[in-house]
């Protein structure tokens, strides 16, 4: 299976589990955010929700915190169609994140994280799962790192490249199996993302490993 196929299946599985209500809270919010911004994910979530009674009858349900599924579907109702579903960049906060951070990303208590990056942790801890917003300066590269687990990232503002792939507002990237990577923000402006992980960051270089102990 190619990396692209593996990533696509991971995104599909995430949306299926979200529709079933079986995700931990951080991933529920991330999936809702992805669906609120991305028309393809929105259509898939509506399909899964429509057939959920038949396909998910035998699954053990789990509560979705803060009505995340209803919030996502309500956000989808505000879009007119496939071409108009993604709002412009510039700090627009998707509906599933509004209860957590309000309407203005710019005014959040950003904390400097080094290497032209800043972060804001979100109060969504659930077991090993953690969520945060990360902002990377225009053209800046995130130091090469892995997680020893899974990393889910939804782009909220701007865009970035990771190897040959580019991710823009509403796109979801899934990195699993401890794979290392070093994303680079687009040169024309800062990039803001929502990330959810279940293992600590592990930097590759010796100096970075020493500085982050």
CA 35 – CA 154 distance, rounded (Å): 10
Compute the Cα dihedral for 132, 147, 8, 164 and give only its sign: positive
- Who has greater pLDDT, 3 or 174? 174
The CATH number given to 3-92 is 1.10.10
Domain range annotation of the chain: 3-92, 97-211
- Please give the pLDDT value at position 56: 46
Structure tokens at 183: 């994303």
Gap between the Cα atoms of 172 and 33, Å rounded: 10
Q: How many residues does the chain have?
A: 213
How many whole angstroms separate alpha carbon 182 and alpha carbon 145? 7
Residue 15 is predicted with a pLDDT of: 94
Name the one residue in this structure whose structure tokens are 């038949």.
Answer: 54
| Integer Cα distance of 180 and 176 in angstroms | 9
Residue 1's CB is within 10 A of a number of other CB atoms, namely 8
Q: What is the pLDDT of residues 82-127, one digit of tens each?
A: 333 333 334 589 999 999 999 999 899 999 987 799 999 999 999 9
Report the Cα–Cα distance between both ends of the chain, in Å, rounded.
Answer: 36
| Percent residues over pLDDT 70 in the chain | 73
- SS3 assignment, position 43: helix
Nearest to 187 by CA among 138, 143, 140, 142: 138
What pLDDT was estimated at residue 165? Answer: 94
pLDDT tens digits for range 42-89: 999 999 888 764 554 555 554 544 555 555 555 455 433 333 333 333
Domain 97-211 classification at class level:
mainly beta
Share of residues in the chain with pLDDT > 90 (%): 54
Predicted TM-score (pTM) above 0.85 = no
Judged against a pLDDT cut of 90, whether residue 187 lies above it is answered with yes
Res 121: pLDDT = 96
Whether pLDDT at 39 is above 70? yes
Contacts of 202 (CB under 8 A, 6+ apart): 145, 146, 147, 148, 209
What is the residue-averaged pLDDT of the chain? 80
Strand locations in the chain (E): 111-114, 117-121, 130-136, 145-146, 151-157, 159-162, 165-168, 172-175, 184-185, 191-197, 202-203
pLDDT of 167 reads 97
Return the residue matching tokens 């949306």.
15
């Amino acid at each position: 299976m190619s990396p692209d196929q593996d990533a696509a299946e991971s995104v599909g599985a995430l949306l299926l589990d979200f529709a079933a209500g079986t995700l931990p809270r951080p991933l529920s919010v991330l999936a809702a955010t992805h669906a609120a911004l991305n028309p393809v994910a929105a259509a898939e979530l509506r399909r899964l929700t429509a057939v959920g009674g038949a396909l998910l009858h035998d699954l053990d349900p789990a509560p979705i915190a803060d009505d995340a599924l209803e919030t996502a579907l309500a956000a989808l109702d505000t879009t007119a169609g496939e071409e108009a579903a993604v709002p412009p960049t510039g700090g627009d906060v998707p509906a599933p994140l509004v209860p957590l951070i309000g309407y203005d990303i710019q005014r959040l208590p950003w904390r400097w994280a080094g290497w032209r990056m800043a972060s804001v942790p979100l109060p969504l801890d659930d077991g090993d799962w953690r969520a945060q917003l990360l902002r990377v300066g225009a053209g800046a590269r995130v130091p090469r790192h892995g997680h020893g687990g899974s990393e889910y990232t939804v782009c909220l503002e701007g865009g970035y490249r990771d190897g040959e792939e580019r991710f823009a507002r509403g796109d979801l990237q899934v990195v699993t199996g401890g794979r290392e990577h070093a994303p680079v923000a687009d040169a024309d402006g800062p990039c803001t993302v929502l990330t959810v992980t279940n293992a600590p960051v592990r930097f590759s270089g010796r100096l970075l490993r020493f500085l982050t102990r």
